[in-house]
Structures are given as C-alpha cells and as structure tokens.
A and B are shown apart, each in its own frame.
Chain A
Amino acid sequence: MASVTKLRILIVDDHPLVREGLKRLINEQPDMLVAGEAGDGHEALRFAKQGMPDVALVDIWMPGLDGARVTQMITDACPQVKVIALTRHDDGGFVRKLLEAGATGYVLKQSALSELTRAVRAVAAGQQFVDASILGAVTPSQSNPAEPPAAPEAALSSQEQTVLRLVAAAYTLQEIATSLSIDLAEVLATRAAAMTKAGLATRTDVVRYAQACGWL
C-alpha cells in the first residue's frame, strides 16, 4: 500500500483562527497536506514560488492585495498552481471576477468542509469547481433569456409600437404622452393593449422584447 502522493495545499487567509481550523481539517484528509500558510498576498506569492503547492486556497478579501490580485499574480507566476477562491461572498459577480483572475475553484466559507475538499480534488484534477449553493446565482440573467417574439411587431399598431419603444427606453408615461401629444390615459390604454398583444407583463419584459426586436 504505497503512500499516495498528497496534494500540497497553501492556505492564504488573514485570519489565524480560520487558517488553523482549515489546516487541521485539511490535514485530516488522507490525500491532502497543508504545505504552507500565508496571512497576506505577498507572503502567498513568495510561498507559491518556493513551496510548489498544488492548490492555493485564497481568501478574496484581505488587506493590501485583494484576493483577485493575489490570484492573478499566483497564476501568472506559477501556472501549475490551481487557485480556489475561498470566501464568504456568494455574489455571482465575485465569482466571475475571480474566475477571470485565474481561479479555477470558488467555494463559500459558509459551506460544509466537504464542499472544499471536493473542490480541491476537482481543481487538482484540472476541473473547474464552483460552490453548489451559488451555481444558480452565477447565471440568473441567462436563466430567463428574452424569448424572441414569434411575429415581432406584426400585430402592433404603429402607435402601440412607438409607445412600447419609449417604455423600453425608460421614458415615463408623462414623457411619452408629451412627446406623442396624447393624454396620459391614452398612453396607459395603448401600453396595456400593446403589452397584452405581445404577451408582456412588466417593463423589463418590454425591454427584453425591444432588445429582441432590435429597437434598443
């Protein structure tokens, strides 16, 4: 039973308590070894160059160099080191930012340790890993894509079309009434008729419809 070559882990976090806890837990894993710890970005970079870690766990919010910069510097200097962003931020924007900076994994500190160990094994195997609890948050805009209208504009009168264009362009009802020289009630009625015809419920629906029609 030859001893398996353990994955060498670098922990980058400015909180000693977190580092210690993580270290103990990771060292419990049969296939992992905490090879080094760093309290800030510069230390992390130094160790990455010398310590030859397989995976670096990087807290993205640290004093001095922030996680994205550290990630970028590590992956630039040592392309063989896989970086996992370890953070409390579950916002999709942060995920994109870190992945762009070169991280291949993104794990929330709020998740169970098992999520982290799975991530370490996945990135070490060359895969990308994003915490299961934020997968949905990363792609909310793609989850509800504007459906191309079946027969764009065809059913709408030219006035209805004009009103929808202006609604999509974020004009207020009063502005629309003024620019078309009609009264507010007529704008309301026209908008309601147009939205019903086009099957739209909200202004954001109208915006997406307008984008699909190429109006915006």
Chain B
Amino acid sequence: MALRARSAELKNLRQANADLEDARRAALNLMEDAVESRRQVEELNRQLRVTAASDRFRAALADALRSLGDPVQIQAVACRVLAKHLAADRVSYADIHADGEAAVLPREFDAAALMAELRAGRTIVLPETGSEPSPVQQDSFIAVPLVKDGRLVAALCVSHCASPASAPQAIELVRETAERTWAAVERARAEEALRQSEERLRRLNDALEERIRERTSELAGANASLQLEVRERRAAENEIKALFTRLVSAQEDERRRIARDVHDQLGQQMTAVRINLEELQLRTDIDTPCAESVERTMRLAEELDHSIDFLAWELRPAALDHLGLPAALARLVGGWSERFQVRADYDTVGIDGVRLRSDVEANLYRLAQEALHNVYKHARATHVSVLLERRDHRLVLMVEDNGRGFAIDDGSPEAVPSLGLVSMRERAALVGGELTIESTPGFGTTVTVRVPTADADATSHGQCDEATHPHR
C-alpha cells in the first residue's frame, strides 16, 4: 500500500516536475519573444531614422540643385551634399563621354576593370580595406553607373569612411543621387541649349529686324525718288500740255491775224480795184474791144476776191470770233457740202444763248474741220450729219457719216490715219474734252467730242473779250 502510495506520489512529483519544466520553457519562450520584439522595435526605429535621414537628404539635395544651371556646379553640389549625408571622404561624379574610353575617375583604380563593370551597369562596392585584401583601395568604395539608352553616361563614386558603405540604403541613396544629378545636369544642359537657341533666335531676329529696317529705309528712299520722278513727270506733262495749249492758241492768234490782214488789207484793196474797174466800165463804150477787156478783168478780179475770202475763211473764220461756234459750224458744213458735193446737215440743240469759251470754240471748230476732211478723204459717204448738242452737263460735237466705215484698230492702211486721230485726241484733251470714234465697216463712222460744260462754258467776261472786241 505504501508502495502504491509512493508510486502515486512519485507520479505526482514527476507530473509537477514536468509542469514546472513546461512553465520554464514557456517563460524562456516569452523572454525570447520579448527580446525579439525589442530587437524588431529597435530595427524599426533605426529604419525610421534612416528613412527620415534619407528624406532630409532628398529634400536637401532637391533644394541645393533647384536653383543651379551649370552642369559642373550641379555635379559638385550633389557630391558635397551626398558626402555630408554619408559622412564620406570623397564623392565624385564622373561624366562618361560618348567616346567612353577616357572616363575621369577620382582615384587610381584599376580603371579598365572598373570601367568594364560600370559599362555592364553593375554597381561596384568595395568594403573597407581589411575585411578583404585590395592592392590600392584604402576605404570602402561605391561606384554607381548611370546607363541611359544602353550607354554608360556617368558614374557616381563615393569613398567612404564612416557608416557601412555596403548598406543597401546607402547604395540606393547613391544611385538615387546619381539619377537626380544626371537629371539636373540634363535639365541644365537642355536649359542651356534652349537658352542658346533662344539667344541665336534673338540674334537672328535682331539681324532680321535690322535688315528689315535697312530694307524699309531703302524702300522709303526708292519710293521717295519714285514719287519725285512721278511729280517731275507730271510737271513735265503739264508743261507739255501748257506748251501745246500756248502753241495752239498762238497758232490760232497768228491765223486770226493773217486772216484779218488778208481779208482787210488785201480784200479792201481788191474792193478798190473792182470799184475802179466798174468806174472804167462806166466810161468805156459798149461793144468795143476795150469793153471786153474790162469785162474779162472784172471777172478775174471777182474770182480773186472769192479766193481772198476763201483763204481768209480757211485761215480763221471771222464768224468764230464775231458770231460764235454754232454760226461758224453752219458756214463750215454748208461750205464743205457745196465744195465736195456731199449732202451735209447741221443742227444744234440746247446751245442758244450759251456763251462758250473761245478756245473751246476754236478747238471744236478745228476738230469738226478735221473730221469733215477725213470724211471727204476716206469715207465715200453720201450723207454727213454735224451735230452740236449741249445737255446733261456736257457739250457734244458729233460728225457722223454713212460711209464705208472701218474696223477700229485693225491696223490696216485703209484705217483712218492714226496720226490725224492722235492729234485730234490731243486737241480735244486741250479743252478738257474726250474724243471717241465709232466705226463699223459698212455702217459709217461717228466722231464724237465731249467737253464737260464746266470746261466749255464761258464763265467770265475775260474769256469773251476776244470774241466781242476782236480789234482790242
């Protein structure tokens, strides 16, 4: 019984011992958990600190680079900020040029091997001397390659002494810095390029504006000289017109003077001769040879008298000065019709009681004379109408025939002689008038001269003096 009791007791003891052992193990586990948790917290705290430091670094780097525009300065500042953050001895940013072979490296590395690694895009991490043998390397070293479009463009190298260089955060930070520096440099270069192209553009623009100014000034000069030329030409034309006007007016004056001399002197002397002949006839016995002779002489004198009249009229019809254009035209048309045996009618409308300028009258008279002459020479007409109408603010002279006509501007020698037409146009223009010619083969020809009444009507007594006081 005692044995059974002991064995029961022993069993209890063993049980108790086992429980204790479990408890101890549980306690140990708890301790381990606590230690682990504490370690985790510390690690988290450390990571937080690192992250915070990294954030501060990023902010500092961004601040430092923001205002910079010079690639070399960007690289130097980025290196300084990174060196401070990592407490590194030396940080170098090396541009690798396209030709690639001459990479500038901060210290005396096994350059070829290093370049090969970098070209392959691999980050180079060398731990501190001591943990691993190295022929040259003294400190820890990180080199981060920057590969863009498959090409190594730069490397950021950090020689380190303080914190463990191989820490992934540090490597990441170096890589990030390299990227940012590169981006900042690229931006700066792009801005520089932009600035330069803008500068070029500005210079180009300036040059262009300068050329435009020069050209504008040249043009202004040319324009001014052209205008001067135009003015001179206009002045010359006006002078020619004035000369022509004076010439025509002098010609008319001269004709008037000669006509008057012929009519007055020669005519009066002729009258005297004829009176004497009449006297002689009265004193001569009829039916004698002498009487016949006197008779013949009287007929000759009469013919001579008519010739004198005709000559004077041809030179300048006295009617033009004393009676005006309508009367002179009536006489002209009548005389022409009689002389060339072609029916010619003359009529006026709206002209009664209107005084016309004497130069307008003279020129229209000469134009009618010329037009009738052309009808006689070229038209083979059987009817001619001469019309002088004043209506609708214009004075119109028309000479219209029913002759064979001609094709205007056909250039044929059969056409109305152009020279005559040119001088007729000029004559019309002298008094502000316009001459038009209409002709159709088989339908006759119409010569029309139109003068604005403003130019044609006599406005002051001065213009009529010549007509009313021919002898002055």
Chain A residues within 8 Å of B, Cβ to Cβ: 13, 15, 17-18, 20-22, 24-25, 28, 61-64, 66, 88-94, 97, 109-110, 112-113, 137, 140-141, 144, 168-170, 172-174, 184, 188, 201-205, 207-208, 211, 216
Contacts and interface: CB of A to CB of B under 8 A. Distances in A.
B448 A204 contact: no
Nearest to A13: B268
A111 to B, nearest CB: 10
A203 B275 contact: no
Given A109-B271, A204-B386, A91 B331 contact: yes
Contacts of B334: 137, 140
Given A64-B471, A188-B443, A110 B306 contact: yes
B110 interface: no
Contact of A172 (B322, B383, B436): B436
B384 A202 contact: yes
A13 B305 CA distance: 18
Given A21-B272, A28-B282, A208-B347, A202 B383 contact: yes
Interface core residue of B275, B318, B330, B448 (most chain A CB under 10 Å) = B275
A68 to B, nearest CB: 9
Interface SS of A by simple majority: helix
Nearest to A91: B319
A174 B438 CA distance: 8
Interface stretch (B44-52, B394-402, B452-460): B394-402
Contacts of A202: 345, 383-385, 400, 402
B345 A205 contact: yes
Contact of B318 (A64, A89, A141, A144): A89
Contact of B322 (A64, A92, A93, A211): A93
Contacts of A61: 263-264, 318
B26 to A, nearest CB: 125
Nearest to A86: B271
Nearest to B399: A203
8 contacts: A25-B275, A28-B279, A109-B267, A202-B383, A202-B402, A203-B398, A204-B387, A205-B385
Contacts of A144: 345
B385 A204 contact: yes
Given A88-B263, A93-B322, A112 B446 contact: no
B222 interface: no
Interface of B: 263-264, 267-269, 271-272, 274-276, 278-279, 282, 302, 305-306, 309, 318-319, 322-324, 327, 330-331, 334, 345-347, 349-350, 383-387, 389, 391-392, 396, 398, 400, 402, 436, 438, 440, 443, 446, 448, 470-471
Contact of B323 (A88, A94, A203, A204): A94
Given A91-B323, A94-B323, A169-B391, A113 B471 contact: no
A216 B323 contact: no
Most buried by A among B392, B400, B436: B400
Contacts of B275: 18, 21-22, 24-25, 113
Contacts of B327: 91-93
B192 to A, nearest CB: 73
6 cross-chain pairs, A with B, having the tightest CB-CB distances, nearest first: A21-B275, A93-B323, A204-B345, A17-B272, A93-B327, A203-B385
Contacts of B384: 202
Nearest to A97: B323
Given A91-B318, A109-B268, A207-B349, 6 more contacts: A21-B279, A28-B279, A61-B318, A141-B330, A188-B440, A203-B385
Nearest to B269: A17
A92 B389 CA distance: 21
A97 B324 CA distance: 12
Contacts of A169: 389, 391-392
B130 to A, nearest CB: 115
Contacts of A18: 268, 271-272, 275
A137 B383 CA distance: 20
A3 to B, nearest CB: 21
Contacts of A15: 268-269, 271-272
Contacts of A188: 440, 443
Contacts of A94: 319, 322-323
Nearest to B326: A93
A169 B388 CA distance: 10
Contacts of B331: 91-93
A21 B268 CA distance: 11
A170 B389 contact: yes
A113 B443 CA distance: 50
Contacts of B347: 204, 207-208
A15 B322 CA distance: 21
A112 B305 CA distance: 12
A101 B279 CA distance: 32
A17 B271 CA distance: 9
Given A91-B327, A110-B306, A204 B391 contact: no
